[in-house]
Amino acid sequence: MQGSILRGPRLVALFLAGCLLFNYPVLALFDRPAELFGLPLLFVYLFAAWFGLIALMAWIIERRRD
Examine the pLDDT at 1 and tell me if it is beyond 60: no
Confidence of residue 59 (pLDDT cuts 50, 70, 90): very high
Distance CA 19, CA 40 (A): 22
Q: pTM for the full model?
A: 0.85
Of 12, 15, 4, 2, nearest to 53 (Cα)? 15
pLDDT digit string, tens, across residues 4-34: 788 999 999 999 999 999 999 999 999 999 9
36 - beta bridge partners?
39
The DSSP letter of residue 5 is H
